[in-house]
């Protein structure tokens, strides 16, 4: 009798344990050792943009193991010599919404100086054939580990969501053309247009365990502009017989500063940076032309149009004032292939996810952070008119002691892309898995 009642109790206990939904935190904790091993493997074997051959194969294998239908070698670049290494993993679970979850996977031509035991020692040839070191200096390796952890967690939580998850491992984020290559290859025509798009990025000044997010614009439109300033060259001793493009370039560069300071509404952030200027060969020769390269950052589409038009107008206007004949007017070229649109976090969706994260992580672990004038091609997934609600959130990656020290001493912490930057892996991956899994569950819950 006693044995019988004990066994009934055991059955009840087992049923009640089974009915309890497994916590996302618990799943993340259990997966961490394996995700950490994946992270270290990828960290020590980084690959440059559009060369993510081994990284993408590893991700494909992991997504398959998590139960996704996987398509590899996805993506078509405008440059036909580049191979698409995109990986799309589809996890179906009945009818319901489609949610896109994105990780990036490329590394940078940086020589690692973190001193970590799993630091990269890899060198490779870049697309120009030059030997370069390679490092995951932007933390995309941590994104990959958290992305795989999210796929594993959601596979285990299938009783709690319905619909289709589109896991997208995107190549070439650093060169700004990877998302476009996937869309060009038919991401949305082949796999369906998602109802929501979610992405994450580690943040080099956010403490581990925290999620940071910005409502509205979070990254800028990025335009790359070339200007060829043409003059009429000659001997350095006889400037009166020339039209000097070097002096003219100096005038143009100074006048460009008035776009931000005098022409633009100060409430609309913009940046116009001349990052490169080349002209001339020798002390005593006035050259025929000077070449300049600019990066132009804006948020709103109409502001972007006005700033680009102002650059063209100022360059040509300065040339006219300098007496350069019309046939030698400056040539401004917008590198359309390199354009990266602004990332806009849908305000309603952001508010919804902030509420979810505050509930699961605690109010103190969710921060509203400032937008930046950096660029991120995650924006492509919400399409040009932001018609697909999207959120790209930040995951904390830095030891809180280091942040406190940096505030005290004024010594800046290594930024993303620094040879000394590396996230603290365990808590960064953990918060990535929890933050992304919670977000997907909220949008797909039964």
Query: Which stretches of the chain bind Zn ion, using CB under 5 A?
Result: 138
Residues 168/88, Cβ–Cβ less than 8 Å? yes
Query: Looking at beta carbons only, is 315 or 391 nearer to Zn ion?
Result: 391
* Nearest approach, Cβ of residue 151 and Zn ion (Å): 20
**Burial group, residue 425, by CB count within 10 angstroms (0-12, 13-18, 19+):** buried
**Nearer residue to Zn ion within complex by CB, 245 or 435:** 435
Closest distance of CB 398 from Zn ion, Å = 15
Asked if 384 and 78 touch (Cβ cutoff 8 Å), the reply is no
Least distance in angstroms from the C-beta of 136 to Zn ion: 9
Q: Give the three-state DSSP class for 110.
A: coil
Separation in Å, CA 92 to CA 66, 167, 389: 12, 11, 21
Tell me whether residue 138 or residue 391 sits nearer to Zn ion (CB atom): 138
Question: Is the CB of 138 or the CB of 165 nearer to Zn ion?
Answer: 138
Q: How far is the CB of 376 from Zn ion (least distance, A)?
A: 7
Query: What single DSSP character describes residue 108?
Result: B
The total of other beta-carbon atoms located within 10 Å of residue 105's CB is 28
- Long-range pairs, 383-390, Cβ under 8 A, ≥24: 384/341, 386/344, 386/346, 388/100, 388/193, 388/194, 388/195, 388/196, 388/197, 389/195, 389/196, 389/197, 389/346, 389/348, 389/349, 390/196, 390/197, 390/198, 390/199, 390/343, 390/344, 390/345, 390/346, 390/349
Mind giving me the DSSP string for 237-272? T-GGGSB-HHHHHHHHHHHHHHIIIIIS-TTS--EE
Least distance CB 202 / Zn ion (angstroms): 8
Question: CB of residue 332 vs Zn ion: minimum separation in angstroms?
Answer: 27
Nearer to Zn ion, 104 or 438 (CB): 104
The 3-state DSSP class for residue 232 equals strand
Residue nearer to Zn ion on the CB measure, 105 or 138: 138
Nearer to Zn ion, 138 or 198 (CB): 138
Q: How far, in Å, CA of 287 to CA of 248, rounded?
A: 12
Minimal distance, residue 214 CB to Zn ion, in Å = 16
Evaluate whether 440 touches 101 at the Cβ level (below 8 Å).
yes
- Residue 370's nearest CA partner among 170, 161, 220 is 220
Q: Which is nearer to Zn ion, 138 or 253 (CB)?
A: 138
Minimum CB separation from Zn ion for residue 173, in Å?
Answer: 6
By C-beta, is 138 or 292 nearer to Zn ion?
Answer: 138
State the minimum distance, in angstroms, from the CB of residue 368 to Zn ion. Answer: 21
């Amino acid at each position: 009798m006693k044995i019988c009642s004990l066994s009934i109790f055991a059955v009840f206990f087992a049923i009640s344990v089974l009915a309890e939904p497994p916590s996302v935190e618990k799943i993340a904790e259990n997966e961490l050792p394996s995700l950490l091993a994946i992270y270290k493997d990828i960290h020590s074997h980084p690959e440059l943009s559009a060369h993510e051959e081994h990284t993408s194969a590893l991700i494909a294998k992991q997504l398959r193991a998590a139960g996704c239908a996987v398509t590899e070698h996805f993506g078509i670049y405008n440059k036909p010599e580049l191979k698409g290494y995109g990986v799309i993993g589809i996890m179906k679970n009945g009818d319901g919404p489609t949610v896109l979850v994105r990780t990036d996977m490329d590394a940078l031509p940086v020589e690692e100086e973190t001193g970590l035991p799993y630091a990269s020692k890899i060198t490779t040839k870049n697309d120009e054939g030059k030997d370069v070191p390679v490092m995951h200096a932007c933390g995309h390796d941590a994104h990959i580990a958290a992305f795989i952890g999210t796929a594993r967690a959601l596979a285990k939580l299938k009783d709690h969501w319905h619909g289709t998850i589109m896991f997208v491992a995107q190549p070439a984020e650093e060169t700004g053309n990877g998302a476009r290559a996937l869309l060009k290859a038919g991401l949305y025509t082949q796999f369906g247009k998602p109802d929501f798009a979610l992405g994450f990025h580690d943040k080099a000044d956010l403490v581990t365990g925290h999620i940071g997010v910005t409502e509205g614009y979070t990254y800028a439109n990025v335009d790359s502009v070339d200007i060829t300033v043409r003059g009429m060259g000659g001997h350095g001793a006889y400037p009166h017989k020339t039209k000097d493009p070097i002096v003219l370039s100096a005038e143009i560069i100074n006048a460009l500063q008035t776009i931000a300071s005098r022409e633009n509404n100060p409430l609309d952030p913009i940046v116009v940076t001349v990052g490169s200027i080349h002209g001339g060969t020798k002390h005593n020769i006035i050259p025929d032309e000077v070449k300049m390269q600019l990066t132009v950052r804006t948020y709103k589409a109409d502001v972007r149009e006005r700033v680009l038009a102002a650059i063209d107008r100022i360059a040509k206007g300065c040339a006219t004032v300098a007496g350069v004949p019309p046939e030698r007017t400056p040539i401004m070229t917008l590198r359309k292939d390199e354009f990266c649109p602004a990332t806009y976090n849908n305000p309603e969706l952001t508010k919804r996810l902030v509420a979810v994260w505050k509930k699961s992580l605690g109010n103190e672990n969710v921060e509203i952070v400032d937008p930046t004038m950096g660029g991120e091609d995650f924006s492509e997934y919400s399409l040009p008119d932001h018609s697909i609600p999207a959120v790209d959130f930040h995951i904390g990656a830095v030891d809180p002691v280091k942040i406190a020290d940096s505030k005290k001493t004024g010594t800046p912490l290594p930024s993303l892309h620094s040879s000394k930057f590396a996230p603290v892996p365990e808590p960064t991956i953990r918060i990535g898995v929890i933050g992304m899994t919670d977000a997907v569950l909220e949008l797909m819950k039964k």
